[in-house]
């Protein structure tokens, strides 16, 4: 009896021991636990104090990757803009109206012509009559031209005719009136660069009519020391005493 019981007890003990060994072998290794006896690797610099090529390359790459500090650029201040001075109104003489004497007005009045028209070009008596009076003495300025030069009274070499003046007068102008212009003398007793100075009645267009007809005017240029002053300015006033001719229908 004792032999069977003892054999069964030893067999059970062996089985339990095998089970314990099997469980111990199958249990997982816990994380974090390393073999304390494992080998440790140390880096040794063979060249002494000199860094390795890889370390130098890594250092250069870090220098290139690092952003460079750029000094801020201050823009120059904008230039100071000085506004132009405001124009000064000409309150003393708002309109360049030239004062003329009665003699000047009389010389410019075409209504006082003997037949309303001068003599023909071949008649030297009428032409020399105006030119003869213009040859005596030096001319005296009566004002200032639009460009600031002296302005002289007109001295006709040949007076314009009604036929030369009427086509340029505005049909809206009625009754008497006048047109005053300033022109620069050129060769052959002609004038150019005419500019309007005044008219009456205002808005009648008489000054524009005289300016448009001025290419036909023949005047004696002013003189100084007996010599004609070509290129000087003369004041020309034409007085109208009649209504303009009705335009053809």
Render pLDDT for 12-43 as a digit per residue (tens, 0 to 9). Answer: 888 888 888 888 887 666 555 555 445 555 45
pLDDT at 172 over 50: yes
* 46 or 88: which leads in pLDDT: 88
Backbone phi and psi for residue 195, each to the nearest 5 degrees, phi listed first? -135, 145
pLDDT at 114: 37
pLDDT at 113: 38
pLDDT at 106: 53
pLDDT, mean of residues 163-180: 88
> Residue 93, CB half-sphere, CA atoms under 13 Å: how many?
9
Q: Is 11:19 a contact under the CB 8 Å cutoff?
A: no
Which secondary-structure segment (H or E) carries 68?
none
pLDDT, mean of residues 155-180: 90
pLDDT, mean of residues 183-197: 96
* 113 or 172: which leads in pLDDT: 172
Structure tokens at 11: 């067999």
Whole-number Å distance between alpha carbons of 209 and 245: 14
pLDDT at 92: 47
pLDDT at 88: 57
Edge-to-edge order in the sheet of strand 177-185:
143-144, 150-153, 233-240, 177-185, 191-200
Whole-number Å distance between alpha carbons of 96 and 87: 18
Residues in the chain: 249
H runs (alpha helix) in the chain:
2-26, 53-65, 102-108, 124-134, 162-165, 206-213
Q: Among 57-61, 72-76, 90-94, 138-142, where is mean pLDDT lowest?
A: 90-94
DSSP state of 204: S
* Among candidate residues 144, 127, 145, 143, the one with its CA nearest the CA of residue 135: 127
pLDDT at 219: 97
Percent of the chain whose pLDDT exceeds 70: 59
Whole-number Å distance between alpha carbons of 188 and 184: 13
Backbone phi and psi for residue 25, each to the nearest 5 degrees, phi listed first? -75, -35
* Among candidate residues 122, 208, 216, the one with its CA nearest the CA of residue 162: 216
pLDDT at 17: 87
Confidence of residue 74 (pLDDT cuts 50, 70, 90): confident
pLDDT, mean of residues 116-122: 33
pLDDT at 239 over 80: yes
**Phi/psi class of residue 225: alpha, beta or left (left: φ > 0; alpha: ψ in -120 to 50)?**
left
pLDDT, mean of residues 2-19: 82
């Amino acid at each position: 009896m004792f032999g069977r019981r003892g054999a069964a007890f030893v067999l059970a003990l062996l089985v339990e021991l095998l089970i314990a060994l099997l469980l111990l072998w199958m249990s997982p290794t816990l994380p974090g636990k390393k073999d304390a006896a494992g080998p440790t690797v140390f880096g040794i610099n063979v060249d002494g104090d000199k860094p390795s090529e890889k370390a130098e390359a890594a250092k250069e790459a870090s220098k290139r990757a690092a952003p460079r500090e750029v000094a801020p650029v201050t823009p120059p201040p904008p230039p100071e803009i000085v506004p132009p001075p405001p124009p000064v109104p000409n309150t003393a003489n708002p309109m360049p109206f030239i004062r003329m004497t009665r003699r000047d007005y009389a010389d410019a009045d075409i209504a006082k012509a003997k037949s309303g028209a001068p003599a023909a070009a071949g008649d030297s008596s009428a032409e020399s009559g105006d030119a003869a009076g213009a040859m005596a003495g030096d001319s005296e300025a009566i004002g200032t031209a639009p460009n600031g030069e002296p302005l002289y009274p007109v001295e006709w070499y040949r007076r314009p005719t009604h036929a030369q003046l009427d086509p340029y007068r505005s049909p809206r102008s009625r009754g008497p009136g006048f047109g005053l212009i300033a022109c620069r003398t050129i060769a052959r007793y002609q004038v150019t660069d005419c500019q309007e100075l005044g008219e009456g009645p205002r808005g009648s267009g008489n000054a524009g009519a005289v300016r448009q007809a001025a290419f036909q005017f023949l005047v004696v240029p002013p003189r100084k020391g007996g010599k004609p002053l070509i290129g000087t300015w003369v004041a020309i006033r034409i007085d109208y005493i009649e209504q303009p001719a009705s335009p053809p229908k």
